[in-house]
């Protein structure tokens, strides 16, 4: 049995990780979600260490996405004795913006003013917020399922016309649109619950802020600007607290500075936060090497 198994869905996102593992001579089993099946009575995991790499945006690529399948599978393999990185509990948080915001608020951190509903018809009544607002799908990815409405009338018209966003779990969020200071959000990457690096992302008003090479090369994607960020100690401490509360082995925490009052508002926990494109240019080092260093320690621990 190999030491490490990875479950993934996107055909290109993990080539840099696979290449880094190959360079180190670390054996691994790459399992594509398509075509995968498991026996609930089988108590043998594919490896003692399992790394979940399923993205919430997978539903954009195929209607028969593996989001909920992966939650069941990760719980099964953990029950069979594997150490699962970004396992079922983390996936459950990753798959719910509503749960993410509740977790962040419980830590005493600021979030955008938000209401959660399960029917589009309830959005106008729930939108007792300052306009403009955005309606978000509870399960999104790469900015999918986010639409801005500048007044209550336009929201009501969209609800009546059936054109508001939908979510594959039928949960919707209506949220105050936060004017972001400097037009940039900050994505704080964590590894093992600790700060790894941070980048500022300027999407020019776009909601699609995926910073990876493959995302940036997507036809029609608005241009975004990526620069290294140096958050202050309070923001780093807050991001680490979020990562640890979400049981996030690796992933990104997104925060924006509200230009109205300077409040940092955390709004997204991403268990599949792709590393920044051109890391040597942006950061001066490659985060995949740090990730593989960490995976080596995890493999050593499960071998012991």
What is the DSSP code string of 169-220? Answer: TS-EEEEEPPPEEEEEEEEEEEETTEEEEEEEEE-TT-S----SHHHHTSTT
Going by C-beta distance under 8 Å and a sequence separation of 6 or more, which residues neighbour residue 154? Answer: none
Give CA–CA dist 209/201, Å, rounded.
7
Q: Domains in the chain, start-ordered, CATH in brackets?
A: 4-86+291-303 (3.40.50.20), 94-110+178-284 (3.30.470.20), 114-176 (3.30.1490)
Look at residues 156, 152, 120, 121 and name the one whose alpha carbon lies nearest to residue 136.
120
Average pLDDT per block of 10 residues along the chain, 304 residues long: 94 93 96 97 97 94 94 98 97 97 98 98 97 95 84 98 95 96 95 97 64 50 82 98 98 97 97 89 95 97 92
Q: How many helices (H) and strands (E) does the chain have?
A: 11, 13
- Angle among Cα 58, 75, 188 to the nearest 5 degrees reads 55
The two tokens of residue 30 are 């790459």
Strand partners for 202: 225
> How confident is the model at residue 144, as a pLDDT?
75
Strand partners for 191: 194, 250
For residue 80, which phi and psi values (nearest 5 degrees)? Answer: -85, 0
Give CA–CA dist 281/283, Å, rounded.
6
> How confident is the model at residue 11, as a pLDDT?
87
> How confident is the model at residue 214, as a pLDDT?
45
Look at residues 3, 8, 4, 60 and name the one whose alpha carbon lies nearest to residue 274.
8
> How confident is the model at residue 210, as a pLDDT?
53
E strand segments, the chain: 4-8, 29-32, 49-53, 83-85, 114-117, 133-137, 146-149, 172-176, 180-191, 194-202, 225-228, 250-258, 264-270
Rg from Cα positions in the chain: 19
> How confident is the model at residue 254, as a pLDDT?
97
């Amino acid at each position: 049995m190999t030491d490490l198994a990875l479950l993934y869905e996107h055909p290109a996102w993990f080539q840099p990780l696979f290449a880094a593992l190959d360079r180190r001579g670390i054996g691994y089993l790459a399992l594509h979600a398509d075509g995968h099946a498991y026996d609930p009575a089988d108590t043998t995991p594919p490896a003692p260490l399992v790394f979940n790499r399923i993205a919430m945006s997978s539903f954009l690529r195929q209607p028969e996405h593996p989001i909920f399948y992966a939650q069941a599978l990760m719980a099964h393999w953990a029950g069979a004795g594997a150490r699962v990185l970004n396992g079922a509990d983390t996936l459950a948080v990753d798959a719910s913006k509503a749960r993410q915001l509740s977790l962040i608020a419980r830590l005493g951190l600021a979030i955008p003013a938000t209401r959660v509903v399960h029917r589009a018809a309830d959005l106008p009544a729930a939108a007792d917020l300052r306009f403009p607002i955005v309606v978000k799908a509870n399960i999104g990815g790469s900015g999918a399922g986010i639409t801005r409405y500048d007044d209550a009338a336009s929201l009501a018209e969209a609800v009546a016309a059936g054109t508001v966003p939908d979510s594959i779990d039928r949960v919707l969020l209506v949220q105050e649109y936060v004017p972001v200071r400097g037009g940039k959000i900050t994505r704080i990457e964590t590894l093992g619950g600790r700060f790894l690096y941070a980048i500022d992302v300027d999407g020019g008003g776009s909601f699609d802020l995926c910073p990876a090479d493959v995302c940036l090369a997507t036809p029609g994607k608005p241009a975004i600007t990526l620069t290294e960020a140096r958050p202050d100690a309070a923001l780093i401490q807050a991001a680490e607290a979020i990562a640890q509360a979400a049981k996030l082995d690796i992933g990104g925490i997104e925060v924006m500075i509200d230009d109205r009052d300077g409040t940092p508002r955390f709004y997204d926990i991403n268990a599949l936060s792709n590393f920044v494109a051109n890391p040597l240019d942006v950061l001066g080092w490659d985060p995949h090497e740090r990730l593989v260093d960490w995976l080596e320690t995890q493999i050593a621990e499960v071998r012991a």
